[in-house]
């Protein structure tokens, strides 16, 4: 199997339908075999039922849902799926389809050229943001990135885009060592990649913000939690 796609999902019975329709349609047209693993992170809705019952078997594509309870966080869900994928390339993408599946092609090309990981970026030349976040959220995100890069000794302009892929070897190593269950798992993975000497390439993507994000950091307490998690990484 060439490609495993992990989709973390928390109460995504509505949005997961179009995401899977688009992804399956694309993957069925490819010459390689692939799998999609939806990881239900303690959902209380019908996410798993939708995945298991609303889609017919697809050519060259395996689709399955994994679920556990209680809700543990996006980082835990991604790690749960990434350590269970069997493809030569293992990637994760967000359930809201903010990055279309076609954007996997340049990332896969980078991995096939010798990189251990390829991460999508909304902040490098060639990227297209079709719907922006609020001004305050974009500004706070840039400030966080500056602090994060300084603390971890990295230079990425965008670590939070939910569209990243790894060789199977790198995925098993990095997600096997990761510990953070929260949304701050991305910089932890990239810091571990740096620590382990893995080659990471960035590529531009088309990205669309969706207002009904399942992850909201809209209070001082939640913002402080982000930095608390960040400063746990080196520990």
Domain range annotation of the chain = 3-230
CATH entry 3.90.550.10 includes domain 3-230: yes
Per-residue pLDDT of the chain (235 residues), as tens digits, is 999 999 999 999 999 999 999 999 999 999 999 999 999 999 999 999 999 999 988 889 999 999 999 999 999 999 999 999 999 999 999 999 999 999 999 999 999 999 999 999 999 999 998 776 666 677 777 888 899 999 999 999 999 999 999 999 999 999 999 999 999 999 999 999 999 999 999 999 999 987 665 555 556 777 788 989 999 999 8
Q: How far apart are CA 98 and CA 162, in angstroms?
A: 8
How are beta strands 89-93 and 117-121 bridged, if at all?
unpaired
Which residues lie closer than 8 Å to 14 by C-beta, 6 or more apart? none
Report whether 90 contacts 166 (CB < 8 A): yes
Half-sphere exposure of 43 (CA within 13 A, CB side): 23
Give pLDDT, residue 209: 83
Report whether 36 contacts 63 (CB < 8 A): yes
Half-sphere exposure of 47 (CA within 13 A, CB side): 24
CA 129 distance to own-chain centroid: 17
Give pLDDT, residue 142: 81
Give pLDDT, residue 30: 97
Which residues lie closer than 8 Å to 148 by C-beta, 6 or more apart? 154, 159, 187, 230
Give pLDDT, residue 132: 67
């Amino acid at each position: 199997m060439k490609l495993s796609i992990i989709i973390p999902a928390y109460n995504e019975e509505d949005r997961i339908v179009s995401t899977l329709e688009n992804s399956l349609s694309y993957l069925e047209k490819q010459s390689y075999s692939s799998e999609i693993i939806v990881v239900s992170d303690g959902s209380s809705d019908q996410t798993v039922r939708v995945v298991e019952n609303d889609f017919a078997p697809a050519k060259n594509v395996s689709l399955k849902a994994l679920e556990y309870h209680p809700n543990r966080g996006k980082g835990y869900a991604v790690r749960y799926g990434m350590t269970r994928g069997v493809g030569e390339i293992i990637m994760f993408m967000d359930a809201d389809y903010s990055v279309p599946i076609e954007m996997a092609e340049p990332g896969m090309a980078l991995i096939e050229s010798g990189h251990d990981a390829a991460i999508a970026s909304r902040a490098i030349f060639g990227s297209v943001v079709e719907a922006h976040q609020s001004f305050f959220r974009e500004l706070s995100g840039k400030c966080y990135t500056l602090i994060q890069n300084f603390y971890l000794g990295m230079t990425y302009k965008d670590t939070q885009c939910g569209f990243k892929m790894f060789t199977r070897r790198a995925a098993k190593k990095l997600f096997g060592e990761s510990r953070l269950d929260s949304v701050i798992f991305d910089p932890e993975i990239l810091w571990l990649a740096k620590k382990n000497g893995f080659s990471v390439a960035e590529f531009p993507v088309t990205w669309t913000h969706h207002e009904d994000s399942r992850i909201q950091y809209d209070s001082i307490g939640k913002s402080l939690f982000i930095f608390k998690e960040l400063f746990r990484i080196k520990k």
